[in-house]
Structure 1
């Protein structure tokens, strides 16, 4: 029997009669407001317990010693409560098949420090796979018996305590560990070389301790590592080149240590490094290696406050996915490289406190995604641009550059001196003018002659070779794509993704604008992504899905494989660019009204409903986010980028049916459902989670990875805390501004509504807007619930969101 009442806002105490039902094997009351103590004889009363989940409540008292009688217990979660006392020791010795012990965030011993020696009994738990003891007040040292745990142990979590001492040398005996977290303790000494035996390790968290000595080169043996966090310790010496052995690394953080020497070139060749490389706050010297250009998928490079020198390498312009670049507090010199203009997605650039000089290039103001720029305390000179980010004094800093002039008045720079116009009287003399005029006349005549000949030739060639939009649908060659994009010119670059770049193209014969997605076949998985996307797009057709025109699989001019997809061009770009317009001029023209957001949300939900429930085989998108939602000239949303999409071949009556996923995470940080991060399964409910995050983001105007979301605060909690009374405090401020300007009524034509149903009766009442916002936010929270089984299916979302739109239009 199961007793499951998770996430129901229940309060009070659990009736004692519940504990008398001895057949209960799944006891789950997590995420409520329940209080009281667990019965001392709980393990005797419920001997068949397999799962005991009481996390995120207000329970207090001791952990019942009688749980030792529940010999079938696989999962125990008592996290985030008020339990006191010490954790029972040998009383747990009979739980020989314990699967998960989690006692995080409790108040053991009334905040008194406990002792880890009780861990010794766990050596008898031969089936133990996951042990979580993080965020408590355990003290003492890690007993050597930990190294004698079952070799089946996969997760060992003891972060966030007050553990001191050193790491046992025999830690390498736990050969099946995939996650080891010891962060935020008082551990010291060296990290033993034997740790390199943990070759299956995927996540290693050692940050926030007092480890010293060299970083062991044996860490390079962990070739499956995804996350490596070693910041805020006392490590010294150089960075081991062996760290360049990682095949799947996403995060690498060695910041805030005492590291010296140069940055190994091998570290710049980690092709999978796609999220963050943080080497800041050390004593590294030498240049930033030219090989940094190989990190084409990396979103953040942070080397601030070191002793790096030389010029900023021009190769950094090849880092097409870069969003944050922190180089401040070093000794870089020279000018800002022109190649930075290729970083179309760059959001934050800080090169302050260096020895840089020369003029500030105007292209920086044309980086549309840039929202923070710090050029302070260098030796820049000349006139400061006024366009783009330079027009927003709150987003740019140029302090300490005493030779700059001009710019917007709010920056208080001195005016630039007037340019002197030298006399040109000598050039106007007849002896000069007449010969020059004759030469120019001859040149113009010859140019016209050859121009006419060229136009006639091109006209003949076009009649013979050009193909219309209709013809392109039958297939297109590499040379035709080159012609349509002006040789894949950087100025035509629309954006970059995990496996390639998208260019704006024009069909020469009829001027039709298209989007050309070119796959970077050097990136592992790009070719498979091309095949997967072709396979998915061939099977689907819906008004809210990005329509493919054709595909090209050919050879380029250098004899290399070339693969590309051609799509309909979306005139209004991505939802991401609409939600976060960077230039002040755009902020008004691109402001999304409440009604527009509502319609876009319904469009996206309709697309997912079609993929999940109306295709021959259900399709999971796997990467839903604002940049993958594109808007046409009528502001109709189209979901695109199916490079990670998966068919679900398994037939089942369960609406949440799923299939096993690969070991790597599917999706983008902030939108990935939590079950994927723990080796879960690809499921349509994973898409529902991503949609829920997207929905909250659309109406709050805050990214799920916003700087404000740290520690225990997420976008989910940010909204949940505000509902229902304070919803207007978390809503995107531009929605309120639009309401005040009556934008919803006068500036927007409601799609899919008859004239009689259009709202033309004056400004929308705040009460009605607040009511609709609460309903929308509640749907978002339901969709991104932690437990997949609690999420709302997309066909239900479409109906509920459409009802909200109807309610809004009745005012």
Structure 2
């Protein structure tokens, strides 16, 4: 936790061999004065601090014994200059050079440091995250015969990958991911780099087929060729010749073929990613004999064209914890088994029957069963999903009531039940889900009122879905033992991204895919397309973290709650196709993040809010179907009477009248009228006589009318 500038008194330590200040909070300029006189210095490590300005490698001219230099910075204000002065040739011979995220030579052109042409004993080079340009620097491998690791990821290298002129049997680690390399993977890579353990060429523009020679790299344990433009079928040697593959990742290419059909051996693969390709066929009989304790732990074959049924043995693999078959054409029931899944995504297929619940659910964190043909109700066994974070069973043919026990799944963050046939009311127990961020109950047959306690659901304050990156260390590439009789290991970290969680959620009238860390940011509630009645609870105005609220296509009545103006983060608010009355609250103008607002097809009346801030962006389509609304952007203008505050009392609608007062005043008026009429007759004898004559005449008229009405039918009957 040290901070401040690097002390200048360090330059008095003339016998110092090792200087490691990594992972602190040092700031300011990294001037050469503290280390320029340290002529015995062999090892410096300045990683992970907050230095600013420029550090020049020429300031190390006196440090002829240097072997290890490490700079790693995430600060855009820090730059390492390696090419100054012109013609400078270093006196040291490095064994380890780490310059990651250091904006190397930003002002003079980001090329590979030229002083490396004079280095011949390097064992580790890390120049990642520097925006370096140029062709693949194969000369780094040629000049340094002891080179074990070359990391050039996240730069701007382009052109084709060229192998060195001679075999380098020491290179074990090559990472050229996230660059602009094109062309094909060299066919002779196994000849020039036969001892490779880790090969990462992902996120480039490589095309062509995967050479069968990669299957001859017997010591390879991690291969990542994802996110390229590779095509063709996979060489069989990838599954048979390599003794152990900790990771085989071929995602996001154009590979095809029936890669999983027939009898194949996968006992040597721990994590297999074949997703987002054009693979076809069914899953055959795999020969999975585990020579080691690990076995197949992760299988992702989503977004392909696989067909058939899922075999029972796949659900019985005790080592398999993550399975994704999303967006294929699998059908039939999903088999139960002994596998204890942590991540299961079988969505967007044609699985049928009841929801499988006979496998272990205690370790499940992400369960995706949506967009299939499942029928029946939610099984009672789902009450054992005590650790679940995501539960998506939407877009099926499920029925019955929403179980109350879902409210006891205290860790639940995402609940998707949309587009089924669930009936009954919304259980109040869902209000116990205090960590939930997305609830989608839309397009069902839910009835009753909206529970007022739903304001208890809040946006989680701790991240969950960003914790998807697994770091795997590979040590002993370089052992530094000469200082203080202490071993200092140089190791590489390879990032293995777990299968990211992914859900569909409708907001701003469109269905979006929220994936990975975006799920920590999105907060939404969708109760649309049901049969909900009653007023909108004012308590929903307390959801100040919500981004999307959709209550449309129900039978809700009453006014729009004024305290919806407290929804400070709302981006989409849809209350359309209900029976809402009253005015559109002018206080909603305060919603500065509101992008979509829809109150169409209700019974709203009065003047619309002023066209200010976000309300200036809403068109008349947001208000159509409300004939009593007026003002811009509608064509109907508000009359002066409506605008005159002095006539406001005369504009009250019948539904705003206090009926108790109305009946009371009407009855009192009638009583006063009758008493006044009786008093007039009592005082004036002439009017009294006229009134009695009028009553007598009415009685005779009514009598003769009845007599004629009775006699006329009897005469007709006699005739």
TM-score normalised to the size of structure 1?
Answer: 0.48
Correspondence for 2:30: 14
Match of 1:46 among 42, 60, 63: 63
Native 8 Å contact 1:219 1:242 kept in 2: no
Matched, 1:399 2:423: no
Match of 1:279 among 294, 297, 301: 301
Matched, 1:115 2:134: yes
Structure 2: state its 5+ residue gaps. Answer: 1-16, 431-440, 448-452, 458-466, 480-497, 503-513, 521-719
Rounded Cα–Cα distance in structure 2 between residues aligned with 1:258 and 1:236: 5
Cα drift, residue 186 of structure 1: 1.4
C-alpha offsets along residues 56-92 of structure 1, whole Å, 9 cap, x if unaligned? 1544254338786456311100101111324447753
Structure 1 residues 197, 125: CA separation in 2 closer, same or farther (over 3 Å shift)? same
Matched, 1:179 2:198: yes
Rounded Cα–Cα distance in structure 2 between residues aligned with 1:272 and 1:81: 38
C-alpha offsets along residues 94-118 of structure 1, whole Å, 9 cap, x if unaligned? 432211111111133xxxxx22243
Correspondence for 1:372: 390
Q: Give SS of 2:36's match.
A: helix
Match of 1:296 among 318, 331, 335: 318
Correspondence for 1:353: 371
Cα drift, residue 709 of structure 1: 12
Rounded Cα–Cα distance in structure 1 between residues aligned with 2:88 and 2:368: 55
Matched, 1:339 2:355: no
Rounded Cα–Cα distance in structure 2 between residues aligned with 1:415 and 1:89: 66
Moved more, 207-216 or 380-389: 380-389
Match of 1:202 among 199, 215, 221: 221
Match of 1:236 among 229, 237, 256: 256
Match of 2:42 among 25, 30, 45: 25
Matched, 1:311 2:333: yes
Moved more, 170-179 or 34-43: 34-43
Rounded Cα–Cα distance in structure 2 between residues aligned with 1:184 and 1:4: 34
Cα drift, residue 414 of structure 1: 4.4
Cα drift, residue 35 of structure 1: 3.4
Rounded Cα–Cα distance in structure 1 between residues aligned with 2:49 and 2:319: 41
Structure 1 residues 189, 674: CA separation in 2 closer, same or farther (over 3 Å shift)? closer
Rounded Cα–Cα distance in structure 2 between residues aligned with 1:70 and 1:364: 68
1 or 2, which has the higher strand percentage? 2
Native 8 Å contact 1:43 1:68 kept in 2: no
Native 8 Å contact 1:324 1:348 kept in 2: yes
Structure 1 residues 710, 352: CA separation in 2 closer, same or farther (over 3 Å shift)? closer
Q: Give SS of 1:163's match.
A: strand
Moved more, 27-36 or 302-311: 27-36
Equivalent residues in 2 for 1:598-617, closer than 5 Å: none
TM-score normalised to the size of structure 2?
Answer: 0.54
Q: Give SS of 2:203's match.
A: coil
Cα drift, residue 179 of structure 1: 0.7
Cα drift, residue 22 of structure 1: 2.9
Moved more, 133-142 or 52-61: 52-61
1 or 2, which has the higher helix percentage? 1
Correspondence for 1:227: 247
Structure 1 residues 194, 99: CA separation in 2 closer, same or farther (over 3 Å shift)? same
Correspondence for 2:125: 101
Native 8 Å contact 1:325 1:348 kept in 2: yes
Q: Give SS of 1:319's match.
A: coil
Q: Give SS of 2:382's match.
A: helix
Rounded Cα–Cα distance in structure 2 between residues aligned with 1:72 and 1:207: 36
Q: How many residues align?
A: 433
Native 8 Å contact 1:71 1:96 kept in 2: no
Native 8 Å contact 2:362 2:384 kept in 1: no
Native 8 Å contact 2:221 2:247 kept in 1: yes
Rounded Cα–Cα distance in structure 1 between residues aligned with 2:147 and 2:275: 34
Match of 1:261 among 272, 281, 285: 281
C-alpha offsets along residues 322-360 of structure 1, whole Å, 9 cap, x if unaligned? 1121110001112223413x3322222211111222333
Cα drift, residue 125 of structure 1: 1.7
Q: Give SS of 1:31's match.
A: coil
Equivalent residues in 2 for 1:658-669, closer than 5 Å: none
Structure 1 residues 179, 67: CA separation in 2 closer, same or farther (over 3 Å shift)? farther
C-alpha offsets along residues 660-708 of structure 1, whole Å, 9 cap, x if unaligned? xxxxxxxxx9899865778999xxxxxxxxxxxxxxxxxxxxx9x9999
Structure 1: state its 5+ residue gaps. Answer: 109-113, 417-583, 589-668, 682-702, 715-811
Give the CA RMSD over aligned residues. 3.9
Correspondence for 2:116: 92
